[in-house]
Structure 1
Amino acid sequence: PILPLGLFRVRNFWTGNVATMFVYAALSLNGFVLAIYLQEGAGLSATLAGLASLPVTILMILLSSRVGALAGRWGARGFMTVGPLVMAVGSAMLLLVGSSFDYWWQVLPGMVVFGLGLTITVSPLTSTILGAIGPEQSGIASAVNNAVSRVAGLIAVAMIGSAIGGSLDLDGFHRSCLIVSALLAAGGVVSWLGIRDAQRREPVEP
């Protein structure tokens, strides 16, 4: 009841939230499937399976502020397009995972590429959505974006059984990688078609 529906008349706001839906569905699906497969399929401990994604976090810590500055200078549209596409490539690189498991050659390269794409995406995505709305409504705009990302992730994980065929074996893991790549590519395409740089903040009637 407290959500002004007029927010969704702002192009960068609704388009950014559609891109968020695709990107965060892919993120949740990738994180869930990778952690489970590395334990059940590759035989890693829970700790090592969690640490497998550490390169993504390190890259975000090191590069996010720089990417945010560049997006502020050049506009977010290109970053929001290229970032998800790079992530899609990183996810597709996980198809290298085979029955003879080797983290360093089969998982790490994909994680590095995925992390670079995520770093390119997140800061411009958030700043574009919030920047499209005036500061007096930034709180509700942030809440909507957060809700979209969480619901998208929940739905993606809930549908994992039908998506991968009911079994997270090597073939199921590969299918999930392709699904993640497709979702990320969709997020990049939506950003390219819908986001407009330097959009004037529009007042929204409650």
Structure 2
Amino acid sequence: MKSIVVYCGSNPGKKTIYQEVAYALGKQLAERQIKVVYGGGNLGLMGRVADGALENGGDVIGIIPNFLAKLEVAHKTLTDLEFVDTMHERKARMVALSDGVLVLPGGYGTLDELFEILAWSQLRLFHGPVGVLNVNGFYDHLIAHADKMTEEGFLRPENRALMLVAETGEELLEKMEEFFRQNSENKPLDHTLYVSKS
């Protein structure tokens, strides 16, 4: 993998472990020479991932809608910062630039991004790995619910398996690299399918 989208919160969370892991992940990606693609802000876990990569020689691309640039305070020292018009355009552009998706703790926006990319993976619109970093058990309930959806027949086992999970960045990146190596259909997402023309 040459680039990974990182979805995570624009808030830091109440426990310092979330910020520590976010920074460490940015550093790990830089050390692996994997470009970070993310939402472009300098606050919360988003900012810590970007800082972790940048301060360790990594490349970071931010994609941020114009209306959020003021609210989230765009990061000023990124390798590249792109401004877009809508949230849909932001998400599609981020995925189009990346070989995989990695999710840290976050709120509604992070979950929206996670489930959208899992749905795209299920529909074979996105072919890269989707990894969830289960820091401090943050996603235990979500993982259990995915298992419940499978148990009740609303999610096929092969689609449940599209969500890769690990408790450390190193383990998750190894799982994602293995998925990427085994996937012979790595294709960029045609993000024009998801951007409104109006």
TM range (shorter): under 0.3
* TM-score, scaled relative to structure 1: 0.26
* TM-score, scaled relative to structure 2: 0.27
More helix by share: 1
More strand by share: 2
Higher relative contact order (CA 8 A, sep 6+): 1
Question: Which of the two has higher C-alpha Rg?
Answer: 1
